[in-house]
Amino acid sequence: MPAAATPFCPPDTHHIEALADLGTPRRYRRGALLIQEGETGDTLYIVLQGRLRAFVSDNQGRELTLGMYGPLEYVGEMSLDGGPRSANVEATEASTCAVVTRATLLEYIATHPEFALELMARLIRRARLATDSARSVALIDVYGRLVRLLNTMAHPPDSQGRRALKERLTHQQMAQHLACSREMVSRLLKDLETGGYITVRERWIVLNKPLPAKW
């Protein structure tokens, strides 16, 4: 079991909740594609239940995960200018979303202009994350990207210096985050486990000590 999360102040979500109330709730099965890269769309998806994954893929079927989104997070805002969708979005589990049209969003912003600043800040954060992901794929080797992913997803250390991951990921999901093969992830994790750097129990990963910079 992962360690308990460090307490934090929850973000202010009243604008998202208000927008969700104006949208149309829709249910999606696991694996359903809500957004397809390149298509034109004018809807925003607010997650009510479940989890969504944003990703890009190439002609060979290789995928790179851009982000995971849970309740009261949203996707699809980058195409509200009328341009094509910049990524694919799928449901990684059975999910319910409030689907908000561009017209509804613009009406809401007109009456709550402070939400425009919140939306802008979110777009800037996502752009920075996308730039960071591109830099990582281009300049850091697979092992370096794996170390970065594990460190990012780990809880703060417990009294014994061990850090449990915040969620359980399959090797395929990790490969999608790292833009590499599942076999590569499996081999690297096995090497780290053999070296005593990590412990894996029922797919829960615990970092027993700082991971080496190079492998």
Residue with tokens 């800037």: 124
With cut-offs at 50, 70 and 90, classify the pLDDT of residue 199: very high
What pLDDT is recorded for position 162? 93
- Stated pTM of the model: 0.65
Q: What is the mean pLDDT of residues 74-86?
A: 82
What pLDDT is recorded for position 133? 66
- Show the domains of the chain with their CATH numbers: 14-139 (2.60.120.10), 142-207 (1.10.10.10)
What pLDDT is recorded for position 15? 93
* Count of CB atoms situated within 10 Å of the CB of 64: 20
- Amino acid occupying residue 132: D
What pLDDT is recorded for position 136? 62
What pLDDT is recorded for position 26? 97
Res. 168: pLDDT tops 60: yes
Res. 125: pLDDT tops 70: yes
Q: What is the mean pLDDT of residues 102-112?
A: 93
User: Is residue 46 within 8 Å of 76, Cβ to Cβ?
Assistant: no
* Count of CB atoms situated within 10 Å of the CB of 84: 12
